[in-house]
Amino acid sequence: MGSDLQQVFSDIAKGKRIDKAAALSLLLNASPVELGFLAQERRFFHHPEPAVTYIIDRNINYTNICETLCAFCAFSRAESEEGAYSLSIEDLLQKVKETVELGGTGILLQGGHNPKLPFSYYLDMLSAIKRDFPDIHIHAFSPPEIVFFSNSFGMSVPEVLSKLREAGLQSLPGGGAEILTEKSRKRIAPKKATTEEWLGVMEEAHRLGIPSTATMMFGAGEGDDEIVEHLDRVRSLQDRTGGFTAFIPWTYQPGGRAKLKVEKASYTKYLKVLALSRIYLDNIKNIQASWLTQGLDIGQVALHFGANDLGSVMIEENVVRAAGCSHRTNEAELREVIATAGFAPKKRRTLYEGA
Ligand code: SF4
């Protein structure tokens, strides 16, 4: 091991914050086992108890019609295509009802950028859910959707967020971040919100008291330096606002109708990036493992690479499934996976409160 890397290990062990150069060196030169060890030290600093949390919720995609045409998307459709849909309020309420009946405490509501839907559609969805299911947490609309609403309806981002919150929005999912560098975004999602727009929406949301998660989709042809840059942008924003409740990295699923053809990121790369996320993001308490994209076995291993949360039992998921990723689970199985890894399973709600 080089002396530079040894110095980084010693800094991390002392609880010191690492910089971008050190993070890149870790990603390039440290072994997965070394990274996992260091990440677990940080994980137990934030969460001294050996518990791993999970949630029961449902991803509801209100429309798959989208004009943004991201190269990695296997989910969206043109309006004229077979299978294109927009949910009615009745369909949506039925899905929320099923979620509640199955013990779900929240819904994650996201959709395509559909130019035909009026702003009232979104407000009506939120207020109808809150009217019929006041206890269900509404985690909805990633930053690119908020930017799309702002541009389509001629309102500022704070105005959009305030109106959605008034109607029932409680927190924002961190989707649509992919990699927060313009180099990658221009290549894989040139029509989507820019890095500054994604971060700007999150900053406004946090300023208004709306918490959010942050995500990263990697393995889509970006450089390792871009992964580090992404983590740095998220950490800097969190330093200013403290509004991120969790960070969720996952890998691009190159399947289905997605145009972007690259080799799928390895499990080793996933675990290394997960561990690095835990080490670098010293100001974000919760790091979530993605069993949905990696499978339950790797999800379980991820609990020894810095993750303290195994995400959702996920009653419904459409986006990753459209790319051919078919992992499924149920609550008993998820609890078993957590227990077998040596942790106590603990059900939570969307904002990481106890269920
Ligand atoms: S990823 Fe989202 S914004 Fe991009 S094409 Fe798919 S649905 Fe549209």
Distance 164 CA to ligand 1 centre (A): 21
Under a CB-based contact definition with an 8 Å cutoff, are residues 273 and 234 in contact? no
Q: What is 33-347's CATH topology?
A: TIM Barrel (3.20.20)
Closest approach atom of ligand 1 to CA 66: 8
186 confidence band (pLDDT: 50, 70, 90): very high
Which of 123-127, 229-233, 324-328 has the lowest average pLDDT? 324-328
Region 167-171 average pLDDT: 98
Tokens of 261: 């053809």
The pocket around ligand 1, CB under 6 angstroms, is made up of 66, 68-70, 73, 75-76, 112-113, 144, 189, 192
d(CA 108, CA 102): 15
Distance 64 CA to ligand 1 centre (A): 8
Tokens of 281: 């993001």
Report pLDDT for 4.
82
Distance 3 CA to ligand 1 centre (A): 44
Report pLDDT for 1.
58
As a whole number, the mean pLDDT across the chain is: 95
Closest approach atom of ligand 1 to CA 192: 3
79 confidence band (pLDDT: 50, 70, 90): very high
316 confidence band (pLDDT: 50, 70, 90): confident
Region 1-5 average pLDDT: 72
Report pLDDT for 255.
81
Report pLDDT for 2.
64
d(CA 65, CA 82): 11
d(CA 112, CA 3): 49
23 confidence band (pLDDT: 50, 70, 90): very high
Under a CB-based contact definition with an 8 Å cutoff, are residues 247 and 213 in contact? yes
Region 163-184 average pLDDT: 98
pTM: 0.96
DSSP 8-state class, residue 277: H
Closest CA to 161 of 114, 214, 212, 113: 212
Report pLDDT for 355.
61
d(CA 210, CA 254): 33
